[in-house]
Amino acid sequence: MKVLSDFDLTNYNSYRIKSICKRAYFPETEGHVITFYKEIKSFVLLGSGHNVILSKEYYDSNFLIFNGNYQNVSIDENTGLVEAEAGITMLKLSELAHDKGLSGLEIFYDIPSSLGGAVVMNAGASGEEIKDVLIKVRYLDLEDMTIKEIERKDMDFEYRNSFFQRNTNKVILKGWLQLAKKDKTTIREKMELIKQQRWDKQPKEFPNAGSVFKRPKGYYVGAIIDELNLKGFTIGGAKISEKHGGFIINHNNAKGQDIIDIITEVKRRVMERFNVDLEVEQRVI
């Protein structure tokens, strides 16, 4: 297992916030993951870094990182069964599925996440979610340090929520997905269409971590931000995107605290105007 001291996390979070951690661990095997949890008791778990806000410039902490590592995958193109480790990105997984002529992951082509993160958040778009193709998950239960498996029907999936988000002492190791055979050209066309639609609406040209807030019942976050004239609202190097009010961007060397301060102000104004308590979708570390 690779271990690096005073590790720069800038390229390991999608906001591209400059931050350093005391020590970073990069497991390559399931054995590495189990060994880490048995030996290291104080740490921060960081997946692909796409749905997080690093609030500190320096962490006197160990970080367990799944990003470019722990990503083995096997795909049976005849049955459509995919077995993949939690660290693989959904981008890579969707491309591998396309290469095998398997459909079901097209919407994840441009959703930045690891497989593990996608399951925890029940990631998705356009009415499709990871739960639609997931069969089961293998995980490490930190309560008794044993390996267990759980089927989809027992994961209590909800909108951007799951068994694993409610039980943070369960660490996803691997997932099994069931995909369907389809023409490669049709698969690619859907992948590119979804990507283009997102780029047309979202501020992909600036570092960001996707939608900041969960959609409140009866409202759309973007419309609320528009009504409050908050597009372009800036604190430090962070700004609410002029392209889509549901996104905060790093437009000038933002610190994590800049982003958190914007979130605090938006929540205050939305509560004051609409009596709605916006729920943050991103994880603050």
- Distance between CA atoms of residues 33 and 9, nearest Å: 20
Instruction: Given the residues 160, 162, 198, 241, select the one marked as catalytic.
Output: 160
Q: Are 170 and 142 in contact (CB under 8 A)?
A: yes
- Distance between CA atoms of residues 274 and 37, nearest Å: 44
Determine whether 85 is an active site residue: no
Q: CA dist 271 to 108, 172, 183, 232, 257, Å?
A: 33, 35, 48, 20, 21
Q: Are 181 and 101 in contact (CB under 8 A)?
A: yes
3-state helix, strand, coil in the chain (%, to 5): 30, 30, 40
Strands 58-65 and 73-76: unpaired
- The beta-strand segments (E) located in the chain are 2-8, 20-26, 43-46, 52-53, 58-65, 73-76, 81-85, 102-103, 124-125, 128-129, 134-141, 146-151, 170-178, 180-181, 234-235, 238-240, 248-250, 283-284
Determine whether 281 is an active site residue: yes
Instruction: Given the residues 48, 94, 162, 211, select the one marked as catalytic.
Output: 211
Nearest to 239 by CA among 261, 224, 269: 261
Instruction: Given the residues 28, 95, 128, 281, select the one marked as catalytic.
Output: 281
Q: Are 42 and 63 in contact (CB under 8 A)?
A: no
- Distance between CA atoms of residues 46 and 118, nearest Å: 13
Determine whether 42 is an active site residue: no
Nearest to 122 by CA among 139, 108, 106: 108
Residues with catalytic roles: 160, 211, 281
